[in-house]
Structure formats: C-alpha cells, structure tokens
C-alpha cells in the first residue's frame, strides 16, 4: 500500500532538491520522521530503491 504522504514527499523532494537539510525539508512539508521512514520502506519494498 502506498504511504499516505508519498505524493507530497516526492513533490517536495523534486521542488526543493537543492536544500542542504533533509530534516528541514521534511519539516517544511509537514512530513514527520516516522512518515519519512514509512516512505523509505515503501520505496524499498515496491521498487528496491534505497532513499
């Protein structure tokens, strides 16, 4: 199952790719560390992509 905030996360990453801090990026887009971990797990399980 696709994580709830996956679309928001991907949009944020693409738009803010030049930022220095991933945690600042996640905070800006209101994505918690646990939600980010869920997103990472989903990418690995579904596509074998390690973020």
> How many whole angstroms separate alpha carbon 41 and alpha carbon 15?
22
pLDDT digits (tens, 9 = 90+) for 1-51: 889 998 888 888 877 766 667 788 788 889 999 998 999 899 899 988 777
Rounded to the nearest integer, the mean pLDDT of the chain is 85
- CA of 23: how far to CAs of 16, 27, 47, in Å? 12, 6, 23
Name the token pair of 31: 């994505």
Burial class from Cβ neighbours inside 10 Å (0-12, 13-18, 19+) for residue 31 reads buried
> How many whole angstroms separate alpha carbon 14 and alpha carbon 33?
18
């Amino acid at each position: 199952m696709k994580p709830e905030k996956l679309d928001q996360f991907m949009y944020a990453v693409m738009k803010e790719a030049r930022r220095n801090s991933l945690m600042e990026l996640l905070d800006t887009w209101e994505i918690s560390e646990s939600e980010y971990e869920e997103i990472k797990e989903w990418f690995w399980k579904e596509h074998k992509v390690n973020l």
